[in-house]
Chain A
């Protein structure tokens, strides 16, 4: 079964929400589920190979950060129980448990959010926001910003090459790189300002005033499922608060 965008969003939001109150064991299992979903499911298939690569790289950072948190907390937070000695270092069980809790929460929360964005083109996400009632002007700003960010690496590369061609010390030691940073930054800022003015004018010349009608939902059944998932997670949250 392949979920639609709304259900995907609801499931990711639910996973992120669950990260706040589930014990670390459950969070860890769900984190592994997120990884499996990203790799094997059709619904959460990454939009591109670079997106998949970036996701895996992010997971690697996340796991390293998690391990570091467990290590530091286990080492520094003393509890009532006796410390256990591993490789000559004293680790406190309370500190380890706290570290595991925080690390697993963080891992589940961030991977669940990223899972949605890795598998959803930003324009489809914008459609969804429009359906949920976000004003079209704000959606346009989001889309134009992401469009600008997409163009940014190419622009930086271009400025980098032109500065290098002019003999600016782009490559070299740290101090040289810091100095050259300003020679890249000012053309980047200036060209961005000029382009944003021109692009605004071009959009106006095509009659755009942020009034594009919101997209119609593509699949109503998908929205029903999304609402069901979101309601369930809110019930779980309320139950947790009440408990």
Chain B
């Protein structure tokens, strides 16, 4: 399902500045797009708007432009949550846990119950999602006894089990160690071609590893949008938008694939 935003802007309160301003981007069906930018850049607002949660929760806000999700065009944005067509995973995974189910398995099953799918018929599907995310051993654990990384994977499982054509992830790299991050990269790569993925982050390493296109935002505005190649080519331009500390991650990631490129980047930023 293609995602398209045409001149989309949003203001929570009319007396306050615009949180997202004139955003126009298109993400092809089955592609993976990273939204990068510092805190307060408008990344979360953008994801909430696409999922429909912004329209449903902040009806008093002012929006302009339009958002298209597949064949559906919303002006300025969807006014109700688009689940199960669009699945959004919020930044804090513990918030995504319903509190209505006792075990990890039941928590995943809960998503199927909500869309009136008989979960007994889909046990195989639940088990397969758990295996893909490496949480099958947590099947009978209480969701709130899980660690940050495990919770992150569980919330992802609760969304993936309904196979949404569009998956939105708000800073999924938070609270993940290196292993969990590699697992997430693997999952995002597996979804390529089947699910349109948009994820936000304030550090570029996950984007470089998993995304096809990268959108950079600052103060609600789009600074750059293009494929990964053009992002890497123009790295220097984004130095002010992303904290310098994070550039070390870029270099670390780049150095995994091409030491020559890493050397070039290091030299460019005076880090050699």
Q: Please determine whether chains A and B interact with each other in the same assembly.
A: yes
Q: Does A147 contact B (CB under 8 A)?
A: yes
Q: Does A205 contact B (CB under 8 A)?
A: yes
Interface residues of A in 195-211 (CB under 8 A from B): 195, 197-199, 201-209, 211
Q: Does A163 contact B (CB under 8 A)?
A: no
- From A121, A206, A211, A212, give the contact of B158 (CB < 8 A): A206
Q: Is the CB of B99 within 8 A of A206?
A: no
The answer for the CA separation of A224 and B99 in the assembled complex, in Å, is: 31
Q: Does A50 contact B (CB under 8 A)?
A: no
Q: Does B152 contact A (CB under 8 A)?
A: no
The answer for the CA separation of A202 and B107 in the assembled complex, in Å, is: 13
Interface residues of B, count at CB 8 A: 27
- From B53, B99, B100, B101, give the contact of A204 (CB < 8 A): B53
Task: Tell me the smallest distance from the CB of A92 to a CB of chain B, in Å.
Answer: 54
The answer for the CA separation of A148 and B113 in the assembled complex, in Å, is: 22
Interface residues of A, dominant DSSP: helix
Residue of A nearest to B80 (CB): A204
- From A140, A199, A207, give the contact of B81 (CB < 8 A): A207
- From B56, B87, B95, give the contact of A199 (CB < 8 A): B95
Known: A198-B90, A198-B95, A213-B113. A205 touches B81 (CB 8 A): yes
Q: Does A37 contact B (CB under 8 A)?
A: no
The answer for the CA separation of A140 and B100 in the assembled complex, in Å, is: 7
Task: Tell me the smallest distance from the CB of B217 to a CB of chain A, in Å.
Answer: 22
Interface residues of B in 89-125 (CB under 8 A from A): 90, 92, 95-96, 98-102, 110-111, 113-116
Contacts of A207 in B (CB 8 A): 81, 83-84, 111, 114-115, 162
Contacts of A123 in B (CB 8 A): 100-102
Q: Is the CB of B90 within 8 A of A206?
A: no
Residue of A nearest to B101 (CB): A123
Q: Is the CB of A206 within 8 A of B110?
A: yes
Known: A123-B102, A207-B114, A213-B113. A202 touches B84 (CB 8 A): no
Known: A199-B99, A202-B96, A203-B98. A212 touches B113 (CB 8 A): yes
Q: Does A129 contact B (CB under 8 A)?
A: no
Contacts of B92 in A (CB 8 A): 198
Q: Is the CB of B56 within 8 A of A204?
A: yes
Q: Does B57 contact A (CB under 8 A)?
A: yes
Q: Is the CB of B83 within 8 A of A206?
A: yes
Contacts of B116 in A (CB 8 A): 211, 213
Q: Is the CB of B100 within 8 A of A206?
A: no
Q: Does A35 contact B (CB under 8 A)?
A: no
Q: Does B51 contact A (CB under 8 A)?
A: yes
Q: Does B88 contact A (CB under 8 A)?
A: yes
Q: Is the CB of A208 within 8 A of B53?
A: no
- From A148, A195, A198, A206, give the contact of B98 (CB < 8 A): A206
Residue of B nearest to A145 (CB): B99
Q: Does A168 contact B (CB under 8 A)?
A: no
Task: Tell me the smallest distance from the CB of A168 to a CB of chain B, in Å.
Answer: 26
The answer for the CA separation of A140 and B57 in the assembled complex, in Å, is: 20
Known: A205-B83, A205-B88. A144 touches B114 (CB 8 A): no
Pick 6 A–B contacts, CB within 8 A, sort by A.
A195-B95, A201-B56, A202-B90, A205-B90, A206-B96, A208-B98
A interface, CB within 8 angstroms of B? 121, 123, 140, 143-144, 147-148, 195, 197-199, 201-209, 211-213
Known: A195-B95, A205-B83. 6 other contacts (CB 8 A): A202-B98, A206-B111, A206-B114, A206-B159, A207-B83, A208-B98
Top 5 A-B pairs ranked by shortest CB distance? A147-B99, A207-B114, A207-B83, A202-B95, A202-B96
